[in-house]
Amino acid sequence: MTSMAASSTTKIAWRLQEFEAQSSSISCLALGKSSGRLLATGGEDCRVNIWAVSKANCIMSLTGHKNPVESIHFNVSEEQVAAGSQSGSIRVWDLEAAKILRTLMGHKANITSLGFHPFGDFLASSSMDTNIKLWDLRRKGYVFRYKDKDTLVISSFVFMSSHLFCSLSSSFLVTWSRDPSSSGSGPPRHSGLQIALDTAVSMSDPSIVVDILNIINPQPSLWKLDVCMVVLPQLDKLLQSKYESYIQTGCTSLKLVMKHFWTLISDTLKATPSVGVDITREERHQKCRVCCEQLKNLSNIVKNKATQVGRHSSTFKELQLLMSPLDDSP
């Protein structure tokens, strides 16, 4: 397996290390997000191998699956790792004890994604059997299930308080919600992207906003003017963050808005006022006005960042060029 350093137009990528991680083909891997130093790999040999980044020796090899491992995920503390197999079984290991904590049976096909709740004993899973399941690791069964008509390929889950969000085709799905004051759980339900974003913003945690944006940035069809109105005020903090990943996510979102919405915003603001009362048009005009003002504020940040030397200077210069029409906007 080869690990590569991040590269940009002004940086050269180099090989950090190369080693044989599995006895057969690798199908999945996961990096512990807390330390960034723990790596798990899984593959056709049905094993989950744990590695210390920058070292070529396997720390431990976890067995138990009888079919190829298709998905791996660490919990927040990196004390547990979950792995889903081609047959649909999921196993959760306690890394400190090096033993299986739970074996979860219920899916009937490949596990496509796994996600631990950051503060609780819950694990979310999606499968090629078109089911999303939420498991309570204190028990062996799942708490809730959502079944879709199409095959589910979900890149990640995002837990926020008592809500579980994930992207699903062209919609945003809330698969589970619970009243914090109740010991029980409410039924799974659909919800729009707007609710997901409003919830993320209300929690005043930029990392959650970044998680949501990382899901929707690759899917421009999810974006609407209402989404832009919620996202744009958050980009101020992200573009000026000390965390490079936040800056990158903020730049990606800003590029998306300019490429997909600036023409609409500009044309709407330049259009001749309609005769009579047209509430829909007036509402759209007001949304475009708000977005334009927010974009102008962000343009000033971009111009300042473009003059600075740093890893993202080329990205900010590209954004500055993309946002140049704002200088002539009404």
Helices (H), the chain: 193-202, 206-216, 225-239, 244-270, 279-306, 313-322
150-170 pLDDT per residue, tens: 655 555 666 655 566 666 554
Q: What is the pLDDT of residue 260?
A: 96
Q: Residue 263: pLDDT above 90?
A: yes
Q: Residue 172: pLDDT above 60?
A: no
First-to-final CA distance of the chain: 54
Q: What is the pLDDT of residue 150?
A: 62
Q: Residue 137: pLDDT above 70?
A: yes
- DSSP conformational letter for 326: G
Q: Residue 82: pLDDT above 90?
A: yes
- Its sign, for the CA torsion 136, 137, 141, 145, is positive
Residue listed under structure tokens 């940086």 = 11
Q: Residue 62: pLDDT above 60?
A: yes
Mean pLDDT, the chain, rounded, equals 81
What is the Cα–Cα distance from 300 to 5, expressed in whole angstroms? Answer: 31
Residue listed under structure tokens 């590209």 = 318
174-197 pLDDT per residue, tens: 545 554 334 444 444 445 677 777
CA distances from 78 to 3, 95, 116, 171, 306 (A): 20, 8, 11, 31, 38
Q: Residue 41: pLDDT above 90?
A: yes
Mean pLDDT of 42-69: 89
Q: Residue 112: pLDDT above 60?
A: yes
Mean pLDDT of 46-67: 89
Percent of the chain with pLDDT over 90: 41
pTM of the model: 0.61
